[in-house]
Amino acid sequence: MKKILIIHTGGTISMLENKETGEIRPVKEHPLSNISKHFTDSLIIDEQVLFDLPSPQITPQHMLKLANEIEKLIPSYDGFIVTHGTDTLEETAYFLDLVLKTNKPVILTGAMRSSNEIGSDALHNLLSSIRVASEGEAREKGVLVVMNDEIHLAENVTKTSTSNVATFQSPQFGPIGILTKEKIIFHRTRLSHTTFKINNMSNDDVILLKAYSGMNEQLFKAVHKSNPRGIVIEALGQGNLPKDTVQALKEIIQDRIPVVLVSRCFKGNVQPAYGYDGGGKQLNELGIIFADGLTGPKARIKLIIALEMSKDVELIKKMFIT
C-alpha cells in the first residue's frame, strides 16, 4: 500500500473567502484536511501543517526548512505533496528540485480560488496531485507542479496569469504530462537532473534587477554600494543591456561579485551573440554568467544555493552550466 505525505505551507489553497467582505483569508483548520475520504483503501495519506503563510512571505529559509522536512521523511513515504501559495510556488518548487536527492515524486500544488469560492480549483488540484504522487511514472522526474490537469517540471513552469486557473505554464517546452479523468499521461521524460547539497541558507542578499530601455548605471551603483553577495539581471532579448550600464557592471565584477544574466523574454535562451557596447558578447567577456532557460526569480534561487557552496565565481559559473 502506497503512503503519501501532504505538507501544507499556506496560500489560497489553505484559505477561505469571507462571504460578507469577499476577502480571502487564512483559517484555523485547513479546508482540505481529511482528504483520504476521496480515495480507496489502497493509499495511506498523512498530512502536516509546516507553515501557514501566504506565499509572498515564504523566504529561502522556509524553503530550506521544507526541504529538510521532506528529506527526513523520504524513507517513510512513497510520494510527497506540498500545498503552497501560487505567487512564489515556482521558486519553492525549483529550490526543492535543486536540493532534494530522491527519485520519489515530489509535487507542488496550489489554488487560484479558495475552497468555498465558486469554481474553486483547490480540491481538484490536491486530488490530482495525490493521483500523480502515487503514479509510478512520476518517479525520476525531479520536482513537479500539478495544477489545472497539467504536470510541469519545476525547472520550466511559471505563473503566467494573475487570476486565471490556467495560470501555470511552461512557455518554452509545455507541460511534461496531463491528467484526464481516467489516466495520467506523461509525454516526455527528463534527460538530466543535477542536485546540490546545502546545509544552511545564510542571509539572502542576492539581488534581482530587470533591464529596460534607457537603463543606466544608477541602479547598479546603488546595489553595488549595498554590498550584495550576488546579482541576477533579467536582460534584454538574447542577453543584452543598454551600454550605459557596462562601466558599473565592470566595477561589480572586479569586486568578485557574481553576476548572472537571464532574459526578460519568457521564451528562449540567452547567448553571447551581439558584439556592440552592452551586447551579450561583451557582457560574457566581462565575466557575466549566462544562465540558460531560467526566469530571473529561479536564477536567483540557484545563485543563492551556488553561493552556499562556493564564493569562487568560476565554480559558481560551472554550477550554472550543469
Phi, psi of 150 (to 5 degrees): -125, 155
Mapping DSSP onto H, E and C, the string for 209-259 reads EECCCCCCCHHHHHHHHCCCCEEEEEEECCCECCHHHHHHHHHHHHCCCCE
Q: Which is nearer to ligand ASP, 59 or 195 (CB)?
A: 59
Instruction: Return the range that interacts with ligand ASP (CB under 6 A); candidates 29-37, 85-93, 140-148, 202-210.
Output: 85-93
Q: What is the DSSP string of 69-119?
A: HHHHHGGG-SEEEEE--SSSHHHHHHHHHHH---SS-EEEE--SS-TTSTT
Task: Please give the Cα distance from 252 to 255 (Å, whole number).
Answer: 5
Least distance CB 164 / ligand ASP (angstroms): 11
Give the contact letters, 37-66, x = binds to ligand ASP (CB under 6 A), - = no.
Answer: -----------------xx-----------
Q: Which of 11, 105, 258, 279 binds ligand ASP (CB under 6 A)?
A: 11
Under rule CB under 6 A, residue 12 binds ligand ASP? yes
**95 contacts 126 by C-beta, under 8 angstroms:** no
Q: Which three cell numbers stand for residue 135?
A: 503514479
Give the contact letters, 98-117, x = binds to ligand ASP (CB under 6 A), - = no.
Answer: ------------x-x-----
Q: Is 59 a catalytic residue?
A: no
Q: Which is nearer to ligand ASP, 56 or 136 (CB)?
A: 56
Beta-bridged to residue 134, according to DSSP, are none
Residue number closest to ligand ASP, CB atom: 85
Task: Please give the Cα distance from 49 to 144 (Å, whole number).
Answer: 20
Under rule CB under 6 A, residue 17 binds ligand ASP? no
**24 contacts 16 by C-beta, under 8 angstroms:** yes
Least distance CB 151 / ligand ASP (angstroms): 18
Cell 488540484: give the residue: 125
Under rule CB under 6 A, residue 168 binds ligand ASP? no
Beta-bridged to residue 82, according to DSSP, are 7, 108
Q: Which is nearer to ligand ASP, 56 or 275 (CB)?
A: 56
Q: Quick one: which H or E segment has residue 8?
A: strand 2-8
Residues 176-235 that bind ligand ASP (CB under 6 A): none
Least distance CB 277 / ligand ASP (angstroms): 40
Q: Which is nearer to ligand ASP, 147 or 260 (CB)?
A: 147
Query: HSE-up of 163 (CA within 13 Å, CB side)?
Result: 1
Q: Which of 60, 79, 85, 296 binds ligand ASP (CB under 6 A)?
A: 85
Q: Which is nearer to ligand ASP, 81 or 261 (CB)?
A: 81
Residues annotated as part of the active site: 12
Chain residues binding ligand ASP by CB under 6 A are: 11-12, 54-55, 85-87, 110, 112
